[in-house]
Amino acid sequence: MTTAAKARRTLTCGILACLLGLVLVIGVCGCSSGPAPESVVKQFFDAVKQADLETANSLCVVQNTQFPATDTPEWGIVKAFLGRLNYEVVSSETKGSEAVVNVKISTPDFMQVVSRVISQALPLAAAGGSAADAQAMVFQLFADSLKDPNLPMIETPVAIEMTKTGGKWLIAANPDLGPALLGNMNQMDQLFNQGQ
């Protein structure tokens, strides 16, 4: 074999190797659909725990456009509450572009927190003081309650439905997810209507 023939053969083999590598890269990227449904759910809950609502929102089909102010005492309570959230992915099932991820969510029992704060705040409020002092006291009582290692927690199983949109798995709207994340806050009217 002549030197020119050897050079052509080496060049041809090199080009084929590069093309084969390119085909493999395109094949892997083309088949990749981003993170699996379970990973997206974990990203969502990790973002919620960090009170990173923008990231959590970006993982949902229906997205909010307004977020609460983060420079308020109320936000401090929300952040403390969400920081106590725990979750466990129990199972998942994927069928085409639909998936269901079953999660066990554990959050502070919001009704117990409010009940505790009210029972501690009423005697202190009766002692008098300004509205600003009373508000500061309530925020402090909330913060103290949420730091309590013996705080009652609620465990709620939730089936999180997901859909693949634009090659990404997103969490579908779910009426059970909000109440589970908020520790039965949706039942607050029961707390205030107990004496009626």
- The pLDDT of residue 124 is 74
Give which of 152, 142, 147, 120 is closest to 72, Cα–Cα: 142
- The pLDDT of residue 187 is 66
- The pLDDT of residue 182 is 85
The DSSP line for 70-116 is: SSSHHHHHHHHHHHT-EEEEEEEEEETTEEEEEEEEEEE-HHHHHHH
DSSP letter assigned to residue 50:
T
Tens of pLDDT along the chain (196 residues) come to: 543 333 233 322 233 232 222 222 222 223 334 789 999 999 999 999 999 999 999 999 987 777 788 888 888 888 999 999 999 999 999 999 999 999 999 999 988 888 888 888 888 777 777 778 888 888 888 888 998 999 999 999 999 999 999 999 999 998 999 888 888 776 666 655 655 5
Domains of the chain: residue spans and CATH: 36-112+147-192 (3.10.450.50)
pTM of the predicted model as reported, rounded to 2 decimal places: 0.74
What's the CA gap between 91 and 58, in Å, rounded?
23
- The pLDDT of residue 168 is 94
Dihedral in degrees, nearest 10, Cα atoms 114, 86, 144, 151: 70
- The pLDDT of residue 191 is 55
